[in-house]
Chain A
């Protein structure tokens, strides 16, 4: 059994017991425990079920590389699936549950899959679910969805807070082990601004567990001194619980700080903090990860990485087993055997796959009375939910068992792989180190930054320097290079004195034993989390998958949440062997950020709720709030859709507003309309290029409706242009288009016609603009008094400056409703006062505010187009019957050349018409018109679609506009629209101008 030893672990505080729950069971741990160490201390070796076969799985590792021990944490707004027990710090009241089992962890129905393993090989889904076709939707997909995914997504809203930090440093050091701390000392002493981030709560990495001396003192003491020295330096920042998540272009890096995961009741601290770091240079001191060995049954609970077992023993005082068999191909696992033996636990045998083991560590183990068998491996692990023993065999053979050894734990070590992720994220290349049996950073091909120079330096174990002496020597050398790259000066210094045991060379072992038969290879797990075995990769190779990237996707090797931290190298070695290729020729898959999964909420930071986007409010917004406005977002603006009164529905309010505006008087807050000043000697010439019509001939004091197209010929905006004086125009844009059109103008001015003398300014927010609309519009303005607003003084499509009711205003006689209409601009600061004055004086004329929906209905009744309704980026003015607004006199305008392309002039194009159902009902928005016959896919041929559709309160029937093939030639024809339920709606093609085609209402 796994248990807590009386000898305290290095990291736990035995005076502070903590209580927690696992699957509802009350358990006890100590401050300093991880959830994994506390579970092991309570003999909870079984922590989950595997993804595909639902095999029982236990804790394998002690850090970020853990594939099995994924748990659900918390509840409700703090529920989170897939949390690694090995990186979850224990706190009082922690509650975790295991995943991927039904009905319980101990008894799982899905475990029957393990007996079906023969039928669930690599590529199973691709092979199985392709036929018969109709089965996909109704049988296969629901089945796969049911069994797909690890854990369940939370349903409640996240109860925690998240934030972003921004940091600019000379040198970012990822990893706070001895190499990272050494580098921090070098760069810190050189006066560089240094940020050191370490993913665990502890500094020094695994050096204190592995032993050795630096500068004549134990590593732990050296680490303490280094931390003390660094904390004295104002230019050095140390952050633990902060993982390097990824490195991006030009020295940009993300750090992921778990601020209060370990103390969830810590007041108002955020839960996670995303560090957005810009560094001149980055040093990756991320250490190395131990590899499993591939032997049959290597996934049984109780089989652990040798170094992880040593961590649990030394750091937490937890022994994963009473009798532990150690299996290895290198010397490091001997440290585990020695540590177990020193703790008074049994190590019946060390099975070393190498043909001799004569290094000092092996000799020391032998000296302690541990039996060492060389040339030996494990033929099979015995047991169900827990290891009960192993069968030993010759590594060189086919797995004939030599001996059965009873044990309750197995410590395995297949060697170490440097964590090269941060070297690789931005394109650093790797080199295969044959002697070390590992990929390590290729110093000749580093990732480069904006100056073309190396952007990342790897140091220590992350650079392949595994032994403590080599690691420190490399750290000193690389720290100097990194400090110089970060803009500092650093002299060559001698590495510190290091004492550590010499190690005999590793011998790569990818399959144990060498000639294992298929039955054994089908039980050798490569990827524990995604249930990928040696036999799956070999099958993929036989089926022609030669690229490691293809094999990864076919077998799902390395595609789980651990991204193959344990499985990648073993998997590609097996693939290389199956392909008869060298390992470097096969290569690795791509290392992509983040290093381990980070919370989506941390990426969002504070940008949610009210802080998600700024909200733009007009000067009249508060009046709307006080008068029941039903707001809708238009870009970042809030506009009133309608102003429902007591007891009214929104629909009723819209109808009332339309009717009242047509019969009496309506006010619209049109302040959001874009207003751009275009000024200069070449302003007219410039606008002639931007608009399809001629603007240079417009007379001061007059307005003209204009269309803007992209260079591709498509409509992008429309609006009324007023000529202020000889050199000044005011261009109105759509509400959503103001910034975009201003940018469009600037782009052409800056990049094409930079010698034209024109300035532009977006003055949208400088003015409030109010549309005074309806038969009583003039009466209201005359009552307020001031300038002459008679038809003679201010005819349709004219504008004038003046005063009304004591306000300095500019009145435009323009109409988007077809009624008598004045759009009146006042300085923004006067907007609300002017609105109130109009409202008060307008009472006797029946004044009411109207919102955007009434505006839309009234423009549709008049057949006026709306950018974004009648246009969608593929519509040219000619499609909308707007040929009258295209100048034929101009040599050029943006879009002119494009509009003479053959398909733009094709008479078969869909063109704007009005549509009326035969029964007066309202057509659904966006509905398609269908014609004769079917297309090659058996679908009805589509001949058009509805672009705007409303119930017209004025005409008391449904009205719509749409684009129909050859529409204007088909007036009076009835076309059919296809409902989604298969039904058809007939509608007649009519003129899009439903009301007052002569314009008698507005020209008064």
Chain B
């Protein structure tokens, strides 16, 4: 059972307080988008063994969505950060590089 620190309220929350929201940093495609783009947006997901970026909701807490960067293989947590960003912030990327040199995730590294 994971413990993630909510970046909004600062609580180190047990997984029972949280709700998993799938992959982070998806770009929405709406009307006019090609079938390929739309399908990718709805269904195309990374499935890495290693570094991953996820959306989490502090459901039984402050009610805010946030992002977490963690390792799917070891469950190591690299950090949590605002959900209101379109890409992982620099400090998080640095923290990952320190522990997983050469990591790649989608277009980020």
Contact = CB atoms under 8 A, between A and B. Distances in A.
Interface of A: 248-252, 278, 427, 448-452, 711-712, 743, 746-747, 750-752, 754, 891-892, 896-898, 900-901
Contact of A452 (B1, B29, B32, B76): B76
Interface in B56-100: 57, 59, 63-65, 71, 74-77, 83-84, 99
A249 B16 CA distance: 13
A249 B75 contact: yes
Given A250-B75, A743-B59, A754-B84, 6 more contacts: A252-B14, A278-B3, A278-B14, A451-B76, A896-B31, A897-B29
B28 A752 contact: yes
B77 A750 contact: no
B65 A747 contact: yes
8 contacts: A249-B75, A278-B14, A449-B76, A450-B2, A450-B3, A892-B31, A897-B38, A901-B38
B30 A448 contact: no
A448 B35 contact: no
Contacts of A278: 3, 14
Contacts of A448: 74-76
Contact of A751 (B38, B76, B83): B83
B11 interface: no
A194 to B, nearest CB: 20
Contacts of B63: 746
Contacts of B57: 743, 747
A897 B57 CA distance: 26
A744 B96 CA distance: 31
Contacts of A900: 31
B64 to A, nearest CB: 7
B76 A450 contact: yes
Given A896-B30, A896-B31, A901-B35, A750 B75 contact: no
Contact of B83 (A249, A452, A750): A750
Contacts of A896: 30-31
A249 B99 CA distance: 19
A891 B31 CA distance: 7
Interface of B: 1-3, 14-15, 21, 28-33, 35, 38, 42, 55, 57, 59, 63-65, 71, 74-77, 83-84, 99
Contacts of A750: 64-65, 83-84
B55 A751 contact: yes
Nearest to B4: A450
B1 A250 contact: yes
Contacts of A251: 3
Contacts of B38: 897-898, 901
A899 B63 CA distance: 31
Contact of A450 (B65, B77, B84): B77
Contacts of A892: 30-31
Contact of A897 (B3, B14, B30, B64): B30
Contacts of B65: 746-747, 750-751
A891 B30 CA distance: 9
A32 to B, nearest CB: 38
A248 B14 CA distance: 12
Nearest to A752: B28
A452 B30 contact: no
Nearest to A750: B65
Nearest to B78: A452
Nearest to A713: B42
Nearest to A453: B76
Contacts of B31: 891-892, 896-897, 900
A900 B74 CA distance: 42
A246 B33 CA distance: 48
Nearest to A711: B42
A873 to B, nearest CB: 14
A452 B51 CA distance: 13
Contact of B3 (A250, A427, A452, A891): A250
Interface centre among B2, B14, B29, B75 (most CB of A within 10 A): B75
7 smallest A-B Cβ distances: which pairs?
A452-B76, A252-B1, A754-B84, A450-B77, A750-B65, A250-B3, A892-B30
A427 B73 CA distance: 10
Contacts of A248: 1
Contacts of B74: 427, 448, 452
A903 B37 CA distance: 17
A874 to B, nearest CB: 15
A249 B1 contact: yes
Nearest to A890: B31
Contacts of B77: 450-451
Contacts of B29: 897
